[in-house]
Amino acid sequence: MLTRKQHELIRFIQTRLEESGVSPSFEEMKEALDLKSKSGVHRLISALEERGFIRRLPNRARALEVLKQPEDVTSKAPVGKADNVVTLKRPEPARPAPANDVIEIPLHGRIAAGVPIEAMETAAMLPVPAALLGAGEHYALEVSGDSMIEAGIFDGDYALIRRTDTARDGEIVVALVRGEEATLKYLRRENGRVRLDPANAAYEPQIYEPREVVVQGKLAGLLRRYH
């Protein structure tokens, strides 16, 4: 059986989804259930998720899906139904995200587009229009330097990276060099070695042994802020 608060929360989420198609924010859930803090909402959502009533859609802000609902607490459970659970119909296939939909992806610090520097991970998230991303897992890096300007990538841009460990020659990748420094460059292979090419005539290619370079993703898009 669900607790009263769990029951109230799943009903509130379902009602908001039916009304607007968007799940409520944590602040709205806190207020609706008269809770003192958002941590209480987190605990209720985790409990419902563990029991299979809801699931969180990855990489999306305010994205919850109701998988099944409890029956009204005043009704009797049908014979053979355990836990007063009614399974919902299988949800319709997900529609393509509208152009104004926003996805939050991890922002993993700054990456060099010049001399390699360490790409430092942070707990920050970057809201990105869904239309800029395709399938797969993504993260963002803030570009530092000017060695990719001829590819239209400028200092201060946010590089949107699809996580992968493989790439074809000529693709722009995040390359981890010697296990400690990351850089954004064109990837090329020649004569058994790996060449990381800049897109700026002022910079020379960087050439490494294959064991020294690990692909950590490839460029999927750019986000630029104008001041």
Place of tokens 């570009």: 143
Q: Beta-carbon neighbour count of residue 22 at 10 Å?
A: 13
- Beta strand 138-144 with 125-129: parallel, antiparallel or unpaired? unpaired
- Residue closest to 129 by CA, chosen among 105, 99, 156, 94: 99
Do 52 and 88 touch, CB atoms closer than 8 A? no
CA distance 157 to 127: 14
Contacting residues for 221 by C-beta, under 8 A, at least 6 apart: 128, 132, 133, 160
**Catalytic residue list contains 68:** no
Catalytic residue among 23, 30, 144, 185: 185
CA distance 219 to 227: 24
Q: If phi over 0 gives left and psi between -120 and 50 gives alpha, with beta otherwise, what is residue 17?
A: alpha
**Residue type for position 147:** S
Q: Beta-carbon neighbour count of residue 161 at 10 Å?
A: 27
Catalytic residue among 23, 30, 144, 147: 147
CA distance 18 to 134: 27
**Catalytic residue list contains 75:** no
Instruction: Give catalytic residue positions.
Output: 147, 185
